[in-house]
Amino acid sequence: MKATAKIALDAASMREVTYADARAVYTKARALTTKNGLVSHASESESLGIAVRVIVDGAWGFAATAELDSAAIRTTAHRAIEIAKASARVKKENVRLASEPPAVAEWTSPYDVDPFSTSVENNLELLLQVDAEIRSNAGVTLAETGMNFQREESWFLSSEGADIHQTKFTTGAGYTAHAFAGSEIQKRSYPNSFGGQWQNCGYELLDEMKLVENARRIGDEAVALHHADQCPEGPRTIILDGSQLGLQIHESIGHPIELDRVLGMEANFAGTSFLTLEKLSKLRYGSELVNVVADARQEHGPGLGTFAYDDEGVAAQSTPIISKGRFSGYLSSRETAHTIGATRSGGTSRAEGWNRLPMIRMTNVSILPGDQPLTLEQLIASTDDGIYMETNKSWSIDDKRYNFQFGCEIAWEIKHGKRTRMLKNPSYSGITTEFWNSMDAICSRDEWVLWGTPNCGKGQPQQVVGTGHGASPARFRNVKVGTAYKGS
């Protein structure tokens, strides 16, 4: 495919074109699901195509095709130029790209076991074993399991001389137990909602997750929720498990720090951001304990936002986002870097596939664990009166990312340092900066997990990509709890 990308780049290298890149992408995926003891879906898919991106007259053009003969590729490159000329008719300034040394590189995400080398029979056997465990409790009315693998290979060439070949494996698996009784549907998911846990790694992730070992407990909890008390309403101390905190980071830190949102480029759909430019290095985003980075580097872990180079050919970086509570950085691209006085892109431009334009996306936006040893059980033991919530059930936030509301699948009341009665339908809400400033404890490295969010949507046409969020359980004071059911 590199030769194909070269044809595209050559076709786009006309005098009027001041910048061009060509990106070919091959994606292979396997998706398996079971439901109540039967295979409910089994599929494999392949997709291959190429995109050409150009700047002409100071404006962008982009065209993509799955037809890979030379004539179709040249037509696509010329179409990108025609589109750029049209864009230039409605511009005020020329696009300015931050400089980037052109990289020549090969990279493959680390993995132990190529997931596509595992047999479908074994994949399904594992899922059906989990399914049987979940349904060992007769109160479970629906058991759903799923497993997903993806291999993405990309070739990126630019008119500046970049020549990058990357291969990335993604593995995800998980399950949900539903229990319907009376006028209530309750559910529990493991190890997370959104299809479970997802990372850029191989089949070894499945072995680490202890799927079978936890299935019976998850089924039991879904049924037990029917007999649990309703989560109370009012200001409370809450402790969030790492997976829920990961989503809290995603929504109330990850999205507002996207510089394209800040600059109004997403105003029609995803929205803008309360983090206007003058707040950089000034805003107290959270308490002193809040340290957040956007880290795409391999050493951060196998997150869904890990890569060697982004889809503009910029090397993976770690950007401090919140340092001891102070807002310290945005996610940026080559086009937007100059607006914050940066001379280099933060390396966060990614595209969903061959047919989509790279745009600023979260990489691995993670909260760093606490310095002092602190397990979840120790955190609970140090809490006199509070509520511990686990696993996301619903999530919503306004289009500037101030006001949020999250629902979790399950909670337990904490009294005098002990986890006591189970609570159903827990929810909490608040204003982003007030919430992060209320964090007074976070567990240490032993409890830190790099969670994967596989379904982050942004852009028009919408692009769904995976993002990573490292988090350990953390405690927040005086949080509004239970509003979701208020007045219902």
Partner 1 sequence: MLSKENAADVFDRIRRMSAADEVEVIFNSSRFALTRFANNIIHQNVEEENSVVSIRTNFGGRSARATTNQFDDESLRRAVAASESLAKVQANDPDLLPMPTAQEAGGDTRAVKIPARFFEQTASVTPGSRADVVKRMAMVADRHALTTAGIYSISSSGEAIFNSRGLAKWHDQTSAEISITMLGADSSGWQKFNSPDVGNLNPQHLAETAAEKAAQSAHPRELAPGKYTVILEPAAVLDIVGVIFYDFSGVALLDQRSFLNGRVGTKLFGENINISDDVMHPLQSGSPFDGEGMQRQRLQLVENGVIKQIAFARATAKKVLASEFARKVGPVIPTGHGFALPNEVGEMPMNIVFESPENANARGEIQSIDQMISSTERGVYVTRLWYIREVDPYEKITTGMTRDGTFLVENGKIESGIRNFRFNESVISMLSNVESMGVPVRASGEESFDMVVPAMKVNDFNFTEVTKF
Q: Kindly state the smallest distance separating residue 246's Cβ from partner 1, in Å.
A: 17
Phi first, then psi, for residue 98 (nearest 5°) are -65, 140
Which lies closer to partner 1 via its Cβ, residue 162 or residue 397?
397
Q: Kindly state the smallest distance separating residue 63's Cβ from partner 1, in Å.
A: 5
Q: Kindly state the smallest distance separating residue 183's Cβ from partner 1, in Å.
A: 6
Which lies closer to partner 1 via its Cβ, residue 405 or residue 444?
405
Q: Kindly state the smallest distance separating residue 236's Cβ from partner 1, in Å.
A: 16
The count of other CB atoms within 10 Å of the CB of residue 58 is: 15
Q: Kindly state the smallest distance separating residue 76's Cβ from partner 1, in Å.
A: 8
Rounded Cα–Cα distance for residues 436 and 252 (Å): 9
**How many CA atoms within 13 Å lie on the side-chain side of 41?**
12
Phi first, then psi, for residue 109 (nearest 5°) are -65, 135
Q: Kindly state the smallest distance separating residue 103's Cβ from partner 1, in Å.
A: 24
Q: Cis ω on the peptide bond leading into residue 235 (within 30° of 0)?
A: no
Most distant CA pair in the chain, distance: 73
Q: Kindly state the smallest distance separating residue 27's Cβ from partner 1, in Å.
A: 10
Burial 408-422 (b: 16+ CB within 10 A, else e): bbbbbbbeeeebeeb
Cα 443 from chain centroid?
22
| 143, amino acid identity | A
Which lies closer to partner 1 via its Cβ, residue 121 or residue 384?
121
Q: Answer whether 150's CB lies under 8 Å from 29's CB.
A: yes
50 CB burial (10 A radius; 0-12, 13-18, 19+):
buried
Could you list the beta-strand ranges (E) of 141-288.
142-158, 163-181, 184-190, 197-199, 229-230, 234-240
Q: Answer whether 204's CB lies under 8 Å from 113's CB.
A: yes
Which lies closer to partner 1 via its Cβ, residue 351 or residue 376?
351
Report CA-CA distances (Å) from 15 to 18, 75, 159, 302.
8, 17, 12, 42
User: Residue 44, SS3?
Assistant: strand
Rounded Cα–Cα distance for residues 230 and 482 (Å): 9
Which lies closer to partner 1 via its Cβ, residue 32 or residue 293?
32
Q: Kindly state the smallest distance separating residue 65's Cβ from partner 1, in Å.
A: 5
Q: Kindly state the smallest distance separating residue 288's Cβ from partner 1, in Å.
A: 24
Which lies closer to partner 1 via its Cβ, residue 384 or residue 487?
487
Which lies closer to partner 1 via its Cβ, residue 263 or residue 322?
263
Which lies closer to partner 1 via its Cβ, residue 206 or residue 449?
206
Rounded Cα–Cα distance for residues 266 and 384 (Å): 43
Which lies closer to partner 1 via its Cβ, residue 404 or residue 448?
404
Which lies closer to partner 1 via its Cβ, residue 57 or residue 220?
57
Name the β-bridge partners of 17: 56
Q: Kindly state the smallest distance separating residue 448's Cβ from partner 1, in Å.
A: 27
Q: Cis ω on the peptide bond leading into residue 426 (within 30° of 0)?
A: no
Rounded Cα–Cα distance for residues 289 and 323 (Å): 9
